[in-house]
Every structure is written in structure tokens, then in C-alpha cells.
Structure 1
Amino acid sequence: MRTLNESHFFVRDIKPEARAEAIVQGDRYRFTVLTSRMIRMEYAEDGVFEDRPTQTVWNRDFPVPDFRVVDEADELQIITEHVHLHYSKEPFAENTLYVDVKGNFSTYYSRYTFGGPKRTLKGTARTLDHADGAIELEEGIVSKQGYASIDDSSSFIMTEDHFVEPRRAGQCDVYYFGYGHDYKQAIKDFYHLTGPTPMLPRQVLGNWWSRYWSYNEKEYKELMTRFKEEDVPFSVSVIDMDWHVTNIPEQYGSGWTGYTWNRELFPDPKGFLDWLKKDNRMVTLNLHPADGVRAFEESYEAMAVAMGVDPESGDRIPFDFSDREFIENYFVHLHHPHEADGVDFWWIDWQQGATSKIKGLDPLWMLNHYHAIDIAREGKRPLIFSRYAGPGSHRYPIGFSGDTIISWASLKFQPYFTATASNIGYGWWSHDIGGHHRGVKDDELATRWLQYGVFSPIMRLHSTFSIFNGKEPWRYSLEAEVVMKEYLRLRHRLVPYLYTMNARNHFDGLPLVLPMYYEYPDDERAYNVPNQYFFGTELVVSPIVEQMNDKLHVAATTVWLPEGEWFDFFSGHKYHGDKHVRMFRRLSEQAVLAKAGAIVPMARHLEHSNDVMTPDHLELVVFPGADNSFTLYEDNNVDVTHREGENALTTFALDWEERRLTLVPPTGHQDLLPESRYLTLYLRGVTDGSVTANGNRLITHYDEETLTLEVEVGRISYEEEIVLELGVDVTKNENRLERLYYFLDKAEISFGLKDDLYRMLEKQPDPVTLMHQLQAMPIEKDLVDAMLELMLL
């Protein structure tokens, strides 16, 4: 069977058998010490254990750690550097098997007991369909108490030909994770166990246009042309279900499922796809496969013959992903012809539950798995777009989170939901940015949601079938429109940074978005900012998810700043860490913080272009205050093997004490880079000053509003190291009075109060006096806190 036997990186890298020296086995039990913190625990009454891969677990070939076994008549102990297992050699139960994590994580809860309660930091959920705010999440593999587990007992086995079969009855198969607070290592080892997240193509890191709407070709082209004319870039076109025929004869049921282009809307499908792709877009089509293949489809005859059905009968060919023959023909006859015409990947919009002809087999997992395998059949990256189907689903990016309700509650839940999904390795959620359906038109909500989308894994605008519910920026107020356009352009400029984090996820096992406690696991404050997260290695984001103060024209978010110096990514405003801060932002602003020393590579904005490929004009945004280095990752955007050297790595090293930024020549395949590259440096959060390159003074421009020194470095060499001497210092927020004036000028409060506040703050009293003076005044808390943010930090 071609589809199932296809040789590509998925099946090539599967190594399901553990090393013999890692195994401790008895008549009915088997323990495999995979790492000093991860133990596979199996029990089988017949003493037959499973060494094949499962739906979740693909690689058990870990280097064997040091461990000690104490084997007595009625008890087995396994002791590693990090955990201590106790087992009474009886059937697994709460009183026969427990594992302690070494280390002072808690007095009581660091003990795992088989079948006992789970106290993890949660993982993710199958979907946010119809969610209006928070929902219950499944468990993850990290915990404040230091342990977690995954029960793989009901996971299907993958056979030698890469199909699936149920387990034999009576097998218990659990993976214990005792990683303490080393959450990063837990996720890295989880990826080793279950398989890596594939590299995503660069285009999917840009903006996606998606709308449930029965576009015709002319209308869609006109919309894309207008986006381009208005300088709003989109690198992925999502065509919802009306690409295919939906108005079908009654005897066939609903038109939800379809594989035949609606030529009344799209008379030349291939020409339409070619037009989109020539303008630097990838294309995905919506797919609802549950109704199988019916006689009105163009592909029906070929599918019927392949499945042994008489085409003259007109009998429906049922959807059945438990049938190998159906799977093969499903791809060959229903999908490959469309892909030959230009469809890049499929939006698998499965909403029919988790039941199939084989008890316990989830059709969604099967669809995700085999679509990923099939789309990668000719060396492409295994890209799909579908809902989450359990642990291991990170192998099948990208995640579609479903049809959320348009509400502030929905927006407020999504940052936490997205960051927490990293606790089960699921790093590429794509939300219906702006919400899908219901709700009310709210320009502020739409703008805040879009801003969050720019700083989320995937930026996909979407809306339901309504003539009033579109996400085009010009549908909103002028202020909202301007902000939306700027942020959509920003997303494309961020692709060099995002693509490097894409490689980090693939190679190093760390998702783009991580909760704060990954870097600060022993600081309780890191657990109390659920909507704040790391966005790659350099940035921290705390999205605005609350409505604006109508009088002050700003909205607040409470941010926890770890120890050190932090800088507003946009304004350069400096904050001292080790505290909570209420940050206030106008509609045009978002709370994005850069750590001291942060280095963020970006692309120069290409006007009226959707292109997100390797840029020839790079912008490097650098923040002061600490040493740091950043290595930009670039490749051919196609290769799926990712062997060492099949990329180009460019390192930027900041020595802040010496005020020196070194541009290291690229290593690897320089032929993957533009023939020459122009570099503009932005030193943000600094004083005005000068920059020299190898002794030559460079052209600079200082922007007082953003505390940014713009430096024209020019064409950079791929052969020689360039050393930039930075004649600047860390800002002292010299523009705080200007910021204060702008804030008070826009605030709808009495002129007398404005004058009093400005005169008081113009004197720049010491912090304690200022706090007492403000708190003693009969003014609202938001105004006090906004003053403190502007004047004290």
C-alpha cells in the first residue's frame, strides 16, 4: 500500500525498541528506565509486552541512564539520580506502585501513586468549538509537584506497514515523568519519546486570510487585489467549504462534504490557484470528509472503480478510515488531483466525534496522521490544518482550535490556552482571530484580538457566514483600521524571528510560546500570570484582553517583570524588574516586553507584497543592558530532512559591557541567502549616540519618541566579521514628561486635574513622595496606576 509505506522522515525516524540494558522485567511486569526521570511502567497478566510504536509513542531509544535495582521477594525498587520507584510485584494499583521525586518540591505531593489524582499544570483540549471563555483542559506532562504521567494503555499499535491495530486486552502501559521543575527538559524528552514537531514553511508564519463565505473567483481576486493595494499582506489563502459544490440533489443529503470545484463560482480552478500562488501565497481548502463520496462528484467513477463499486449503481462510498484500501484511494483520487493543480495543504474540518468502525479508533487522529504522511510524500513538509487529537498531535501541525464565540471572554482565555498547550508539546495553535460567530460588532475587541494574533503562533483572521461579519480592516473605525494594518504588516516583518523559533521547536524541542514558569519555575509569581508568556527567546507578551477605560483611552494588563531590566518593544520605555506592574496601552499599543540584551531579527517591510521568504534587507532590533547572542536560522523552506549543514546560521553577539555588537559571518550553506544583504540596526531603549563599524562612523538617526537609534550598517559581508562599536547608553526614560503630556492630553478628565497632575509630576518628586501624593488624591485607581507606570519605571 503506497500511502502507508511511503518513506519519509516520519517513519524513518521511528525507533520504538528501548535498549535492553534499560529494562527491568518480571513475569508480569516490565519497567524501562528511559531517562533518569522518565520510566515506562507495564503490566500484563500474560507476560507479553509491547515493543512496537503506538499512536502516541514512537521512540524509546534513549541513552541508558545510571540506575540501581533493589530486587527482593515482595518488592522491587528502581533508584535513579532523580526518582525512586517502589513496586510490590502485584497488579498495578494505588497501593502497589508509587514513585517519589527526589528534591524538595513539596512535603506530600511529590509522590506519584498509580491511578492517583493528577495535579499537572494542564495541557490542551480537542477544540474551542462554541466556547465562550474558559473550558476544561486535558492534562500535561509538567507539574509544580514535580511529576506527571501519560497512560498509553488504550493507544493503538502501529504495525510494520504503518497501519494501526488495537492492543491486546489487559495491557497496562504508563509513562511516568518525574522532572521536578525542569519543565524544559521534560518537554524535550517528551518530543524524543513521541517524535519532533516538523518544520513549518515560512509562508504559514505570515498572515492567513480565512472567511466562511461563498466567494466567486472575481470577488476573491478583487479582495486580494485590494489588500495588496492597501499594503495589507497575506501569505496563506484559506478557501472555506464553498470552493466545492454544496447545492446538491436532495437524494444525496447535505452538501457539507465535497471534492468537486463549484465552477459557477470558480470556472477555472487551476488558473485561480495559479493566480494566488504567483502572488506569494500558499493555498489550503476546507475539507469535511464524513459523508464519503457520492455519485455527483467528478471523482466518483474513478473512486468507485478503485473501491470495487459499480459506478452505474450510484451507491455512496462511505468514509471509512479503518479501511486501508479506502485510505489509499481517498488520497489518490480525491486529493492528489487538486494538489497537482496547486493546493498546498488541507484544512481537515472534522466535527463528527471520535467513533469509527474499530472500537476506540479516533477518525480525527487517523485523518491527521495520514494526511501528514501523504502531503509529505514527495519530500514536502507534512503540513496540515486540523483539530487536536491527543498527545503526539504536535507531529501534525497546524492546530485548528474551532469555532469560538466573539466575546471578550473568548479572547481572555486564548493566551492562557495557547501557552498551556506547550505543556503537552502542542506549539502551533491557530485560532479564529477575532472570533467566529455570534457576539456583537466591537471595534476595540476586534483590534485587541488581532494584536494578540500577531503575537500568537499562527495569525489567521476568520469569521462566519454573514454579510456583516468580515475581518477586513476597512470594516472598522478609521483608528482601528490603521492599527490593524500596521500590526498585519508587523507580523510579516517578524517572520525571520518566528522562523528561527520554528527551527528551535523542531531541533531543540521548545515551542514558540511558553508559560512564564518555564524560565522561573521556583518563583510563585510566574504561575500567577496565566495570560503572560514568552514569545520566543527574546520577548515576553501580556496581551490586552480587557476593555479600555473610556475616559483615559487606555486599557490595562498586569505584567510580572522578573528580575533585571525590561524594555517596551515599541516605545523603548525601560522597566525595572522583580515586581508586578499595571501597564496601560492605547488602542495602537500592545504590552510586548524585550529582555535586556534582546536581539530580534526582522524583515524590512516590502510594500504591496505578500513575500515572506529569506529577506535581502534585514532589520536588527537590539535592546541594551546585558550580553546576549542570537543565531538567525534560514534554509530552503522545502527540505524535510534537516540534516546538519542544510541551512545557514548567522550569529549576532552583543557584548554590552564593551558596547560591542559583532556580526559573525554565516555558517552552513551561504547559497541559501540572498546574493547580498543590507542591514539596518535599531538600538532601542538607548540614548542618542554614535556607532562605528571597523573604525568608520555610520549614518544614524535618533527617534526620541521610541528612544531608538537607527543605524544604516549597509551591505554586510558573508566572509568577514563586522564589529560595531556602540557609543550609546541605556535610556533613563528621558521622554517620560512628553509621554505624560500625551497621556493627559488625551484623557477625558478635568483640565484643572490635568494641570495639577502635570505640575506635580514635572517636579519629578522621589518615588515614595510621588506614590503618596497620587494615592492621596481623589482620583480613580486606573489614573493613579497609569501615572506610576509613566513616571516611576
Structure 2
Amino acid sequence: MTETTRTVRLPDHLRPVTSPRARPAAVVRGPHYRITVLTSRLLRLEYSPDGDFEDRASQAVLHRDLEPPEFRVLDSEGRLEILTEHLHLVYDRGEFAPHGLSVKVLGGVSNYHSVWHYGEEGERNLGGTARTLDGVDGACALEPGLMSRYGFSVLDDSSTLVFGDDGWLAPRARPGSDGNAGGRVDLYFFGYGRDYRACLRDYYRISGPTPLVPRFALGNWWSRYHRYSEEEYRGVIERFAEAEVPLSVAVLDMDWHLTEIDPAHGSGWTGYTWNRELFPDPEGFARWLHGRGLALTLNVHPADGIAAHEEAYERAALALGLDPAAGEAIAFDPADPEFLSAYLREVHHPLEEAGVDFWWLDWQSGPYSRLRGLDPLWVLNHVHFLDSARGGRLPLTFSRYAGPGSHRYPIGFSGDTIVTWESLAFQPYFTATASNVGYGWWSHDIGGHMGGYKDDDLAARWVQLGVFSPITRLHSSSMPFTGKEPWRFRPDAEAAMEEFLRLRHRLVPYLHTMNHRAAGEGRPLVEPLYYEHPEAAEAYEVPNQFLFGSELMVAPIVSLRDRALHRASVTAWLPPGDWFDVFTGTRYRGGRRVQMFRTLESIPVLARAGAILPLAAGPPANGVACPERIAVRVFGGASGTFELVEDDGSGAAGRREHQVRTPIVFDWDAGSLRVGPAHGSADGVPRTRAWEIAIEGISRPGAVRVTAGGRELDAVAEYDEQAATLRVAAEGIDASEALTVTAGDGFGLAPNRTVPAVERLLTDVHAEFAVKGEVYALVASGAPPAAVVAALAGLGLDEGLMGALLELILADAG
């Protein structure tokens, strides 16, 4: 190709905001070492043979300009000590070595295990995440995380690239003339004991926070690798609507673009030109989707560059000073900021202007580029995410994990898993553990991508996990039999899948509040149980159980039903206190392990006493608009608070002046629930609303009074005896008013309805009628639970039936 002279400048919006230079008061320095006390539990440890140190932002660490904590320096011959409130560093001032550099975590796990020596990887690391689950059938190895049961971890930042003054990446300066990577050491020591949340918060302080994701990302995504025509894709969306299963994101895999091309131009795997035989009017199709409340994303494989057959080819060639008449392909060069600028501006921007909301970056071509150490996947994530914020939009991209710092570029695509029970069984642990490197927005191929086998239980259980995952995206391969449309499955699986997908959209008010919490407080939506209970051994022994936001705990079922019992089970650990199953209403006494049995209709999703769960009410519909009807589920037994956060959906949504915050306060002792008044203002958030309140797990209250703005309401208040729930419906409540529900004589906990629950179980299971009758008589006798269990033990019951009975009989036993 013929080149012309051109000026290279990275656009301002592709330059990250950084504050990389630490404050002088935080730095302890010698001829070849520099130690920066970033917080009382976070140290930067650098060694440089030439005495020069790196003050530029790196791919993993953008910010070091933190207010330093108080610390002491003890400096004696041959020995340097630094003491903070939480750490004690001892260093011999020489080249970093295990015998010369150590850090002790004060008040840590133990005197022995809380000491790190340079070079140690750290035992009992709790794991991080992996780049991809492509082709994984079951479990895979995870990279180390930031948390360890021994209380410390180390992030090695010695080899990452750094940002220059122009906002682009460059290698670190290295000693020696050979250009090798040896010599300099750049580590971050995290010494947090078992305060895992504090560790994560400080990691976000130096690496950058998790961004707010657009509200539409929190609903159901429809995706399939399939050669759709526009007519066929519309038909699928309409079929979901007929089934009253809402969607919020429409995904088109690679066949949206030309794939059958002249081999001289490549394989067709990479493409940017709509296939107008399949989609004759792409702009009209995008408008049709948007009119039905769906965002649109397209899959791209950028590795083969921009070939001459592409509609964008001439524009891109001219922008790069090349001769389009030559017809030579423009190579994909992630190391060239000028190429990336043209790639975004000339190829992607026109497609976005025609209706594409964000991109699915499907990079499968390895971690190498022309610039040593520069992973093309990382570059794609970085520039696409920043570029998507143009015009004040809330940025979003969809791509694989590319190492520490990747949490800044949500959402993660975990890759093409195999359709097996083993794959499903790994995903809850995989998702929760990713929080240990701050990576909170995984999107899995719900139902699995390829291979494996058809199993209706597997499909339904995977959807149930997907609904209680960061992102719910149904997906499959192009094989005719692998689609995840619920109507492809048997009636019981279809019904379970559809009901859970409806639930996902009802959960959006809760999910979006947790989205704000993740961005503002550094708390991922999905957390391992040990974040909340770091000193409880049991919290580490249930790796598939996780916290889902502030109010819920999930123990997914990842095994086939027992045919006779018609149920599958999971053994969960319940922390101390009372817990309610949000589907069955059963109340459990905590502080113990419980084997929980469930039909295909549900999985154990538990709310602690006092939990407040806001949901969208009303008929299911596409999109995730702020609802005019809000249902609030409140679980009795303790007081609780929740602040519902809503916004206008713009890029400014992360700022409080573009938010509406509605406090909800449940006072168990006073017998009252108070909603609002709301604070703030934002477009799209209703000023008046209907509230549907359910206070669950309580005995029948006395007189119930409902007020708004101090005036008495003629609200409907009913007590449901079967569900032990007080229901209140209030219409037309202004956001400026406080809605209050008060029970005159307070609230009391209702006992579980154990006998009816056992009767339902016995009706359902396959067993001898005589045995059923004997079991029922024992349970209905009114004898104490311990006596009933002792009598049941003598009947020689099937293990599964006995376990299911014990769950119900002992659920709320003291």
C-alpha cells in the first residue's frame, strides 16, 4: 500500500483518567528500593538496580495518589522497618530476597502464617478467576486472587505496560542494554487478614472502581450462534412476548455480517458489513428492537483486520493514509493507536449510529501483539469501553477477562462451555470467586454452549442459576437441537424456565440498586459467603453457595432430581439467625448445615430475617424501565433497612444529582414499615407509584394502619393465613410522601406450617401408601420434633425421603 504522511494522536476520550504519582509523605526510598505506604494494609514494594522507579499508571494500577496513613520508620544499620497499624515490614535494603524482605500482618491469622517472605506465592489463596471457560467441561484452574486465609497476597505488577503522557501504552524502562525484562520489581502487598471486603475496596482505590452498567444489561439476554434472518429473529422475540417472558438485550452472533466471502479476503470469521440477504434493513431492524424495549449487540472477531470487501474499507484506508485502490487488507494492529482510532471511528461508529448499542468482542486469537507484553484482548476491552462512553453515554462492552484491572471493562464473557452437569456445578463457585479479583460482572452461556447432551433438568437448573447470576444470557451453538428457547423443553422444565426468566425482570429494581452499590461501595453483586463470615470454617466449605446482593443468599441446585422423590438437593450452611426461603416461605433456624430438597420449580434462595426485597410489579414486558408499581417483600423476625436506587439511565447516572433514592425502613420491634420519601430527581423515574407490600412470616397482626404524608389511606390490607403474610396495596403515592404501615400490637413470628408441607411432600413422592400414612400420622401427632424424628428413624425410610422430611420438621426447631 502507498502511505502518506499523517499525524498520530490518540483521541482524548480514549485516554484513561489516572493519578499515578504517590504523595511524598507515603514514600520511603533508598538508592535501589522504594516502598510506598498506600494504606495501612497496602504497600507498594519496588526494587531497581539502576535506581530509577516507575511513576506512570500501569494497566493494572491507575491511582497511587492516596492520603497516606500514619506509620513509623525504624532505620538502623542493615535493617529498615516500617510499621503501620496493621503491618510490620522488615527489610535489609538489599536486592529483594526471602531472607531479606518480609511483612507481617499484625493481628492476623496466626504468628506463623501471617508472615510473608519475598518470593512466596502465599498458601491457602482463595483463588481469582480465569480468562475463559472455552471448551471447559467441569472445573478449570483459576489464577490467584487477592484474598488468602493466611491474610495476605501479592500482586506482581512488574511486567505490565504503562501509560505515557499521550494516554497510550509503552513498555516500562528496563535496566541493561539488551532490553530484557529482568531487574526491576514492582509488587503490591495486600495484608488484610480476613477483612476481605476492605481488601477489595482498597484494590479498587488503586486499580479503579467497577463502573455502573446500564440498567438494560440486568434483564434477560437472548443469544444464539445461529444464522438468523431478520424475519426469524423477529419471530423468536415475538414468541417470547407471547409466552410473557421479557427480554432486554438482543444478541446477534457472527452471521449478522458477511461470512461467505472470496477466500482472497479471508475466512469470513471477521466481518463488519451487514448481510443484507438476511437483514435487508439493518437500521429498521434496530429500530424495531428498540421500539420493543431491547438493546442490540453484535458479535465481532477483529483478528483478521479490515478486508477490501467491507463497506468501511475505503473510509478506514483513507483515514490511515493508505490507497484503497490497492485492495490490500488492513491488518489488525492493537499496538498502533492510529489504527485503533480509525478502526473505531470508521468501522464501528457508523454501525452504532445505525442502532448498535454495544459490542460483543469475541477475541480468540491469543495474547500476542507487535508490542511486547501487549495483549490484544486487553486493548480491545480498554478502547472499546472508553469509546462507548462518547456523548455522555453509560459505557459498556462485552468481552473476555484479560487480567487484573479487567473489572473496569464490564461485562465479562466467560466463553463456550460444554453442556454438562459438571460445567453447571462449577459455575456458581467460578462466579463468586471472581470477586476475589474484583471481577463482578460475569456473563455465562446459560445452558452451556456446545457438546454435552440434552437434559431438561440441566437446562432448567442452569436458567435458575442464571437468574441469580450477574448477567442472565441464554446462549447455545448453531446445532439444531441446542437452542435454549424454553418451549424446546418438556412442560415442567419449560414452566420453571419461563417463571424464573420473568422473575429476573421483577428483580431489576433490586439488581440495579446492587449495581450502584458495586460501583459506589466496591461490593460485587455476587460474593462468596466468607466475605460476610470470614471466621466461620463452614463459610469456606460451601463453595457453590453465595451472597446475592445485600439481602439474599443462594444455594443453587446442580444435580439431577431423584426420580422417586421428584426432588434434587443441596447441602447449605445457614449462618446464625433466621432465614426464609423466598419461594417456599419456610423459615429456617441458622447456625447449622441443612440439606435442602427442591422440585424443579425452585432452588434455595434465602432472605435473612429483616431483609427487604424490592421488585417490579405488574405484567411482564420487554425492557427494564423504572416500574410504576413496586412490590416490596419484607421478611419478619428482625429490623432491616434498604435504600432503593433508581436513575435516568444516562452516563451521569453514577452521580447523585441524577438519582432517586427511596429509603425503606422495617422496624420489627415497633411493628412498622416506612417507605420514602424519595430523595433526588431523574428522568424516567415515576413521581407517583403504586406500592404492593408483603410482610412475610408473621402471625396475624392486630389493627393495621396505612398512612401517606401523614393522612390515613383507604389502602387494602389483608392477612394471608396460608402464607403467614400481611399484604398491603396502596395506589397513587407521591414520591415526596412517606408511606407507612403500622400494626397496632406489633408483629410476631408465625410458626412454619409443617404438617401441610409434609402432606404435600408425601403426596408427591413415590413410596408405599402405608408408609406415607404412618409418616403423616407421626408428623401430625403434635409430638415434639425430636420425638417425631426419633420415631421416623425406626421406619427404615429411603435416605432421600428421610432427608426431605428432616428438612421440614427441623426447619425452625429450637
- Give the TM interval when normalised to the shorter protein: over 0.9
In the TM superposition, residue 183 of structure 1 has moved relative to its aligned partner by 0.7
Matched, 1:540 2:546: no
Matched, 1:348 2:372: no
State whether residues 573 and 733 of structure 1, in contact with CA within 8 Å, keep that contact through their aligned partners in structure 2: no
Question: 3-state DSSP class of the match of 1:61?
Answer: coil
Equivalent in 760, 772, 776 of residue 778 of structure 2: 760
What does residue range 70-109 of structure 1 map to in structure 2 within 5 Å? 70-109=74-113
Equivalent-residue separation in structure 2 for 1:364 and 1:86 (angstroms): 39
Equivalent in 625, 628, 641 of residue 637 of structure 2: 625
Equivalent in 15, 21, 31 of residue 19 of structure 2: 15
Matched, 1:638 2:650: yes
Equivalent-residue separation in structure 2 for 1:139 and 1:513 (angstroms): 18
Deviations 1:140-191 (A, max 9, x none): 1111111011000001001122110011223211000001111111101111
What does residue range 293-332 of structure 1 map to in structure 2 within 5 Å? 293-332=306-345
Which stretch shifts more, 724-733 or 223-232?
A: 724-733
What does residue range 30-429 of structure 1 map to in structure 2 within 5 Å? 30-119=34-123, 120-169=125-174, 170-429=183-442
Amino acid across the alignment from 1:417: F
Equivalent-residue separation in structure 2 for 1:476 and 1:705 (angstroms): 32
Amino acid across the alignment from 1:114: Y
Matched, 1:567 2:605: no
State whether residues 383 and 396 of structure 1, in contact with CA within 8 Å, keep that contact through their aligned partners in structure 2: yes
State whether residues 574 and 731 of structure 1, in contact with CA within 8 Å, keep that contact through their aligned partners in structure 2: no
Q: Name segments (4+ residues, structure 1) moved above 6 Å.
A: none
Matched, 1:687 2:692: no
Amino acid across the alignment from 1:82: H
Distance 1:786 1:697, change over 3 A: farther
In the TM superposition, residue 594 of structure 1 has moved relative to its aligned partner by 0.2
In the TM superposition, residue 722 of structure 1 has moved relative to its aligned partner by 2.8
User: 1:773 corresponds to which residue?
Assistant: 791
Distance 1:93 1:333, change over 3 A: same
User: 2:3 corresponds to which residue?
Assistant: none
Equivalent-residue separation in structure 1 for 2:121 and 2:160 (angstroms): 21
State whether residues 571 and 685 of structure 1, in contact with CA within 8 Å, keep that contact through their aligned partners in structure 2: no
Equivalent-residue separation in structure 2 for 1:605 and 1:488 (angstroms): 15
State whether residues 194 and 392 of structure 1, in contact with CA within 8 Å, keep that contact through their aligned partners in structure 2: yes
State whether residues 573 and 707 of structure 1, in contact with CA within 8 Å, keep that contact through their aligned partners in structure 2: no
Equivalent-residue separation in structure 1 for 2:8 and 2:637 (angstroms): 56
State whether residues 659 and 681 of structure 2, in contact with CA within 8 Å, keep that contact through their aligned partners in structure 1: yes
Equivalent in 624, 643, 649 of residue 612 of structure 1: 624
Amino acid across the alignment from 1:47: G
State whether residues 146 and 153 of structure 2, in contact with CA within 8 Å, keep that contact through their aligned partners in structure 1: yes
Amino acid across the alignment from 1:20: P
Q: Unaligned 5+ residue runs, structure 1?
A: none
Amino acid across the alignment from 1:688: R
Equivalent-residue separation in structure 2 for 1:588 and 1:413 (angstroms): 21
In the TM superposition, residue 230 of structure 1 has moved relative to its aligned partner by 1.5
State whether residues 10 and 338 of structure 2, in contact with CA within 8 Å, keep that contact through their aligned partners in structure 1: no
Equivalent-residue separation in structure 1 for 2:384 and 2:8 (angstroms): 13
Question: 3-state DSSP class of the match of 2:805?
Answer: helix
In the TM superposition, residue 768 of structure 1 has moved relative to its aligned partner by 2.2
State whether residues 9 and 338 of structure 2, in contact with CA within 8 Å, keep that contact through their aligned partners in structure 1: no
Equivalent-residue separation in structure 2 for 1:87 and 1:528 (angstroms): 37
In the TM superposition, residue 563 of structure 1 has moved relative to its aligned partner by 0.6
Amino acid across the alignment from 1:447: A
Equivalent-residue separation in structure 2 for 1:606 and 1:698 (angstroms): 21
Equivalent-residue separation in structure 1 for 2:667 and 2:62 (angstroms): 42
State whether residues 139 and 426 of structure 2, in contact with CA within 8 Å, keep that contact through their aligned partners in structure 1: yes
Deviations 1:408-455 (A, max 9, x none): 010000000000000100000000000000011100000000000001
User: 1:585 corresponds to which residue?
Assistant: 598
In the TM superposition, residue 672 of structure 1 has moved relative to its aligned partner by 5.2
Question: 3-state DSSP class of the match of 1:11?
Answer: coil
Question: 3-state DSSP class of the match of 1:187?
Answer: helix
In the TM superposition, residue 75 of structure 1 has moved relative to its aligned partner by 1.0
Q: Unaligned 5+ residue runs, structure 2?
A: 1-6, 175-182
Matched, 1:735 2:753: yes
Equivalent-residue separation in structure 1 for 2:63 and 2:254 (angstroms): 37
User: 1:713 corresponds to which residue?
Assistant: 730
Q: TM-score, normalised by structure 1?
A: 0.97
Aligned length: 790
Question: 3-state DSSP class of the match of 2:705?
Answer: strand
Equivalent-residue separation in structure 2 for 1:510 and 1:560 (angstroms): 22
Equivalent in 470, 485, 489 of residue 457 of structure 1: 470
In the TM superposition, residue 31 of structure 1 has moved relative to its aligned partner by 0.4
In the TM superposition, residue 525 of structure 1 has moved relative to its aligned partner by 0.8
Deviations 1:672-709 (A, max 9, x none): 52131110101122233453213556423444454333
Equivalent-residue separation in structure 1 for 2:352 and 2:541 (angstroms): 46
State whether residues 508 and 615 of structure 2, in contact with CA within 8 Å, keep that contact through their aligned partners in structure 1: yes
Which stretch shifts more, 339-348 or 598-607?
A: 598-607
Matched, 1:603 2:616: yes
In the TM superposition, residue 491 of structure 1 has moved relative to its aligned partner by 0.2
Equivalent-residue separation in structure 2 for 1:404 and 1:726 (angstroms): 51
Which stretch shifts more, 97-106 or 759-768?
A: 759-768
State whether residues 647 and 672 of structure 1, in contact with CA within 8 Å, keep that contact through their aligned partners in structure 2: no
In the TM superposition, residue 732 of structure 1 has moved relative to its aligned partner by 3.6
State whether residues 647 and 653 of structure 2, in contact with CA within 8 Å, keep that contact through their aligned partners in structure 1: no
Question: 3-state DSSP class of the match of 1:491?
Answer: helix
Percent same amino acid at aligned positions? 49
Amino acid across the alignment from 1:339: E
State whether residues 283 and 354 of structure 2, in contact with CA within 8 Å, keep that contact through their aligned partners in structure 1: yes
Equivalent-residue separation in structure 1 for 2:677 and 2:525 (angstroms): 26
Equivalent-residue separation in structure 1 for 2:431 and 2:352 (angstroms): 31
In the TM superposition, residue 714 of structure 1 has moved relative to its aligned partner by 2.3
Question: 3-state DSSP class of the match of 1:211?
Answer: coil
Equivalent-residue separation in structure 1 for 2:624 and 2:497 (angstroms): 19
Question: 3-state DSSP class of the match of 2:563?
Answer: coil
What does residue range 475-514 of structure 1 map to in structure 2 within 5 Å? 475-514=488-527
Equivalent-residue separation in structure 2 for 1:440 and 1:363 (angstroms): 34
User: 2:801 corresponds to which residue?
Assistant: 783
User: 1:26 corresponds to which residue?
Assistant: 30
Amino acid across the alignment from 2:552: L
Question: 3-state DSSP class of the match of 1:645?
Answer: helix
Question: 3-state DSSP class of the match of 1:378?
Answer: helix
In the TM superposition, residue 106 of structure 1 has moved relative to its aligned partner by 2.3
In the TM superposition, residue 312 of structure 1 has moved relative to its aligned partner by 2.0
Deviations 1:450-495 (A, max 9, x none): 0000011000000001111111111001111111111111000000
